């Protein structure tokens, strides 16, 4: 998270997996409004882009303290209901060559009257959650096992990783037996053979003895793809993504 404009990234909302996750989470919990920073005054504008709010955890702060400080200072939002880490990235390095973790967060706040209309050059709005995906009516998440069982596509998941339907089924069964709470297939597209996706969201249990086997499976898959392993940090979700 940084206060410099250069550290903000403009990305089409429909392409960002964490935006999709926020929509899925909203569906599950009945949330109808999302606080968004957008590139145009009207978030419903098809050309409007969702802006990531970024900041840094200061020395001596916990992650929770940093979130509350940033939202209060920048947007005058003072009621954080809950948050959790979606993903930890270690792509940037400091001047000593050490990787610096960057966390993608899901943050839920109380609905309140906005007193800040702009942040930097971006517009602050409460928006109907459906605008976070420009695909009205599209079901972005489906139970993975049911989706595989009812999908006529012979190779419906990550065809660059799996060669048939049985291979991802074996992985999903392995994750379920290891303790996954839920497994969703996400970002579903439609092809002539049937539906297709390259993304799984695994909803994590909180019990340490159940989390460890899931991280082992996840990091083994990361290693096979040449990706750095992910460290345990209380993530609620593990994202399997093959591209």
pLDDT digits (tens, 9 = 90+) for 179-195: 998 898 877 888 889 99
> Based on the structure, what is the number of domains in the chain?
2
Between 235 and 46, the higher pLDDT residue:
235
Residue 6 pLDDT: 33
Answer with the one of 109, 132, 155 that is the final residue of a domain: 132
Tell me the pLDDT tens digit for each residue of 138-151. Answer: 445 678 999 999 99
Enclosing domain of residue 226: 141-241
Residue 105 and residue 156 in one domain: no
- Does the pLDDT value for residue 16 go beyond 80? no
CATH number at residue 34: 3.90.79
| Residue 234 confidence class, pLDDT cut points 50, 70, 90 | confident
| Residue 85 token pair | 């880490």
Residue 117 and residue 219 in one domain: no
Q: What is the mean pLDDT of residues 36-46?
A: 77
Residue 111 and residue 164 in one domain: no
Residue 151 and residue 124 in one domain: no
Segment 37-43 long-range contacts (CB within 8 Å, at least 24 positions apart):
37/119, 37/122, 37/123, 37/124, 38/122, 38/123, 38/125, 38/127, 39/10, 39/122, 39/123, 40/123, 41/123, 41/125, 43/123, 43/125, 43/127, 43/131
- CA 6 to chain centroid, in Å, comes to 22
Whether 182 contacts 146, CB under 8 Å: no
- Does the pLDDT value for residue 57 go beyond 60? yes
Residue 121 and residue 204 in one domain: no
Residue 13 pLDDT: 33
Residue 184 and residue 160 in one domain: yes
């Amino acid at each position: 998270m940084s206060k410099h404009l250069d550290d903000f990234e403009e990305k089409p909302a429909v392409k960002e997996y964490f935006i999709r996750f926020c929509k899925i989470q909203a569906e599950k919990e009945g949330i109808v409004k999302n606080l968004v920073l957008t590139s145009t005054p009207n978030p419903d504008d098809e050309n409007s882009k969702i802006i990531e709010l970024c900041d840094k955890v200061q020395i001596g702060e916990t992650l929770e303290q940093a979130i509350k400080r940033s939202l209060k200072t920048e947007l005058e939002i003072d009621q954080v209901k809950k948050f959790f880490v979606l993903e930890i990235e270690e792509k940037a390095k400091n001047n000593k060559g050490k990787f610096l973790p960057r966390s993608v967060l899901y943050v839920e706040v109380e609905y309140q009257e906005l007193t800040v209309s702009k942040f930097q050059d971006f517009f602050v709005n409460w928006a109907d959650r459906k605008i976070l995906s420009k695909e009205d009516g599209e079901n972005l998440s489906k139970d993975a096992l049911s989706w595989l069982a009812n999908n006529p596509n012979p190779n419906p998941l990550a065809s660059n990783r799996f060669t048939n339907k049985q291979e991802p089924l074996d992985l999903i069964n392995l994750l379920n037996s290891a303790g996954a709470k839920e497994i969703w297939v996400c970002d579903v597209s439609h092809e002539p053979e049937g539906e297709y996706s390259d993304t799984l969201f695994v909803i994590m249990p909180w019990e340490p003895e159940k989390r460890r086997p899931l991280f082992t499976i996840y990091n083994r898959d990361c290693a096979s793809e040449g990706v750095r392993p992910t460290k345990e940090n209380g993530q609620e979700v593990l994202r399997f993504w093959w591209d």
